[in-house]
Amino acid sequence: MTKKIIVLGNGGREHAICFALSRSPQKPEIWNIATSINPGIKSLGVHIELVKSLEDFESIKIVAKKIEATLIIPGPEAPLAQGISDFCSELEIPCFGPTKKCAQLESSKSWTRNILRNNGVADACPDYLVSTELDDEQRKEFFEKRKGQIVVKADGLLGGKGVIVAGDHFETFEEADAFAQKSIEKFGRVVLEEKLIGIEFSLLSVVDGKTVLDFRACQDHKRVGESDTGPQTGGMGVISDETGSLPFLTPNDLELAHDITVRSMKAVEKETGETFIGIMYGGFIATSKGVQLIEYNVRFGDPEALNILSTLETDFVDICEAACEKDLQRIAQIECTPTATVQKYLCAPGYPDAPEKGVSIDFPETWNRDHAEVFFAGVAEKEGQLISTGGRVLGIVGFGKNLTEANMYCEKMIAKIKSDLFHRSDIGTETLTNERKKTMQSLRAEF
């Protein structure tokens, strides 16, 4: 019987998910429930159903029942935080994603820090304070004790705008506290954390309560400008080297990160009584004191998914189904092609504050797919012309025997696309990689 798989969402990440499904030897029928048509997803021969919102579960149910869906894969966090997985359970359709309770791992920073501290994962977390009162002296004490070197985190989903960092976004206590008070007004709580110094990386794992299988480790570049300058974005580009790791990480760093995810998965189950199924996307930081956890997300990263899923060799359908059946142990490990990947988003002028819409894009009909893959994000097709509809428009992944070659192919592909979109040319270069290696060497020397 043909498998019928629904993917929720229509950005670059969801294009990468559909791409991985389309390469499955099981040849599933793929359906995309979307708020607009993604031309890249459409070009894969995916059936598209438009809805007003991905949180409109009744509309999703109508499609799922109509096609007799065998699996649902939510792309973004919002439907998971709203309980799409619990809703799918009622419909008796497997969902590759955690329940609402487990999804708090992303949607509530205070819940996450507290359950990790209470279940033996405190060693992987910075010092923190949860504050609930608008008038709370403890926040000032926390700020002063750490000489202002803190991070303030809103306790709910704010689409990438929920964290402010000392030095980047504020200097004084008053500035930090204005943000903290806004979070208390909106979510009832705020989290203050010690600011960690080190190099960040992402390790995404698929989990089923018993087994944790890691994808290739990678690193996002969040700042809009070259050399990590300018405002934070959703992510401008991601790299991963030919070993499936990063040049500044040791195998021990990845083992530590894996172990934090194993312990955190167990902590979630102990706390909620429910098994976490789906993606645990750890945002880690390698510091002079070892690997620490910055945050968890409960879905694929965007752009991380573009690097991970374009080089995936293990059958993605099998990975998702095995997780839903709590039988991930049947997959020994996740295999990917032994190539480096350099991914960059082409973005609309004005991104991230006010991205221009309607920028026209001339796109080549063919290119060598052994060297590059292209994923569509904020882009639509109007009378045969591709135009931008969002900030991050096209995600280009270059493949190569090392990061330098992967970057060359990524840039070559970008040069074939005629538009006014911009990207970060420094991502994946030897200069930036060497800088990171040097920073990490001096941090390790401090240890």
CB atoms within 10 A of CB 382: 10
Give me the 66-105 binding string for ligand AMP, x by CB under 6 A, dash otherwise.
Answer: ----------------------------------------
Give me the 164-183 binding string for ligand AMP, x by CB under 6 A, dash otherwise.
Answer: -x------------------
- Could you give the dihedral angle defined by the CA atoms of residues 398, 402, 404 and 406, in that order, rounded to the nearest 10 degrees? -10
Its sign, for the CA torsion 434, 438, 441, 447, is: negative
Give the nearer residue to ligand GLY in terms of CB position, either 242 or 304.
304
204 binds ligand AMP (CB under 6 A): no
What tokens appear for 48 in the block? 């598209």
H or E stretch at 239: strand 237-240
Of these partners, ligand GLY, ligand AMP, none, which one is at the site of residue 302 (CB under 5 to 8 Å by kind)?
ligand GLY
Q: Which of 123, 175, 295, 381 binds ligand AMP (CB under 6 A)?
A: 295
Q: Which stretch binds ligand GLY (CB under 6 A): 82-90, 140-148, 298-306, 317-325?
A: 298-306
Between CA 357 and CA 364, with CA 360 as vertex, the angle to 5 degrees is 140
97 binds ligand GLY (CB under 6 A): no
- Could you give the dihedral angle defined by the CA atoms of residues 267, 268, 271 and 273, in that order, rounded to the nearest 10 degrees? -120
Q: Which stretch binds ligand AMP (CB under 6 A): 54-62, 156-164, 299-307, 368-376?
A: 156-164
Give the nearer residue to ligand AMP in terms of CB position, either 182 or 412.
182
Of these partners, ligand AMP, ligand GLY, none, which one is at the site of residue 338 (CB under 5 to 8 Å by kind)?
none
Of these partners, ligand AMP, ligand GLY, none, which one is at the site of residue 295 (CB under 5 to 8 Å by kind)?
ligand AMP
Q: Which of 40, 79, 162, 400 binds ligand AMP (CB under 6 A)?
A: 162
What tokens appear for 233 in the block? 């974005």
160 binds ligand AMP (CB under 6 A): yes
Beta strands (DSSP E) in 51-149 are 71-74, 128-131
- In this structure, the chain runs to a length of 447
Q: Which of 69, 151, 342, 379 binds ligand AMP (CB under 6 A)?
A: 151
H or E stretch at 154: strand 150-154
What tokens appear for 126 in the block? 């910075």
| Cα 261 to Cα 119, 126, 164, 205, distances in angstroms | 13, 16, 25, 8
Contact 77, 299 (CB under 8 A): yes
Q: What is the CA radius of gyration of the chain?
A: 21
Minimum CB separation of residue 239 from ligand GLY in Å reads 12
What tokens appear for 198 in the block? 């080190």
253 binds ligand GLY (CB under 6 A): no
196 binds ligand AMP (CB under 6 A): yes
What does 255-268 look like in DSSP terms, one character per residue? HHHHHHHHHHHHHH
391 binds ligand GLY (CB under 6 A): no
Contact 108, 272 (CB under 8 A): no
By CB under 6 A, the residues from 165 to 224 that bind ligand GLY are 220
Q: How far apart are CA 334 and CA 339, in angstroms?
A: 15
315 binds ligand GLY (CB under 6 A): no
Of these partners, ligand AMP, ligand GLY, none, which one is at the site of residue 301 (CB under 5 to 8 Å by kind)?
ligand GLY
Minimum CB separation of residue 154 from ligand AMP in Å reads 9
Binding region for ligand AMP (CB under 6 A): 126, 151, 160, 162-163, 165, 193, 195-196, 200, 222, 283, 294-295
**Using CB under 6 A as the criterion, which residues of the chain lie in contact with ligand GLY when the complex forms?**
220, 234-235, 297, 301-302, 304
